[in-house]
Each structure stands twice: as C-alpha cells, then as structure tokens.
C-alpha cells in the first residue's frame, strides 16, 4: 500500500518565478492538506482540499493556490516566489469520517529553495 507521495523531492527557483508541487494521497484517503515547514519550526497549515474544493485556509497570501483532482491528488502552486518561501512543503492526507478525528499521514515533502 503506497503511502503519501510528493514530487519533486527538491526544487531550486529564483525570486519572482512560479512553482507547482504535486501530491498523491495514501490509498483510500480523500482529503489533502498542505503545510509549509521552515527550518527548525513546526509545520504551518496552508490549506486543505476535499471534494476538489478548498475547504479551509491558513494565514497564507493569495500567491499560494491549489487544486485537487478527481483522483484525490493535489497540486500546490506558489506565484511570485520570495526568498522567504524557501521551506519544506509537506502534503498530508486523511480520510474524512463524520465525528472521527482526522489522522493525517504526511508525505516526504518537497524542499524548495528560492535564490
């Protein structure tokens, strides 16, 4: 059973460029959340997708956008990259069940470096 997968593993971009990161959830999961983790800090919630729509959003600017596809996979897009966007971007998947906690399973992350 494949876990959460993310691509690419590493990425180097320059300021002002745009980037797209990809995530495939664990088999059977229908919800995808994206997090940004700066070095030495905890993951910060960006947004969550369920049924192909953004359902929740953290405190991130509109430069951060996403998409979820019918097969539950997801993309994170970041426009007009800033140096401060350099971080590990984590995707987490879960299965939504009413009244039950969302146990999130994380992918290995994409390390984004903005020069």
Interface residues toward another protein, by CB under 8 A: 4, 31, 33, 35, 40-45, 48, 50, 55-56, 58, 90, 94, 96, 101-109
For the bound state, the minimum distance from the C-beta of residue 15 to another protein, rounded and expressed in Å, comes to: 26
Cβ partners under 8 Å of residue 63, min gap 6: 78, 79, 80
Taking the C-alpha atoms of residue 114 and residue 78, their distance in angstroms, rounded to an integer, is 11
Q: Which is nearer to another protein, 85 or 107 (CB)?
A: 107
Least distance (Å) between residue 80 CB and another protein = 25
For the bound state, the minimum distance from the C-beta of residue 39 to another protein, rounded and expressed in Å, comes to 11
What is the per-residue DSSP string for 56-104?
A: EE-S--TTEEEEE-TTS-EEEEE-S--GGG-EEEEEEEE---TTS----
Q: Which is nearer to another protein, 80 or 97 (CB)?
A: 97
Of 17 and 41, nearer to another protein (C-beta) is 41
């Amino acid at each position: 059973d494949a876990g959460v997968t993310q691509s690419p593993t590493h990425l180097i971009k320059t300021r002002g460029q745009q980037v797209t990161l990809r995530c495939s959830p664990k088999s059977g999961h229908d919800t995808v959340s994206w997090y940004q983790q700066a070095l030495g800090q905890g993951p910060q919630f960006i947004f969550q997708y369920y049924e192909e729509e953004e359902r929740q959003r953290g405190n991130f600017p509109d430069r951060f956008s996403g998409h979820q596809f019918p097969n539950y996979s997801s993309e994170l897009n970041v426009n007009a990259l800033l140096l401060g966007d350099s971080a590990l971007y984590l995707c987490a998947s879960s299965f939504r069940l009413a009244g039950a906690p969302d146990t999130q399973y994380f992918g290995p992350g994409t390390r984004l470096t903005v020069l």
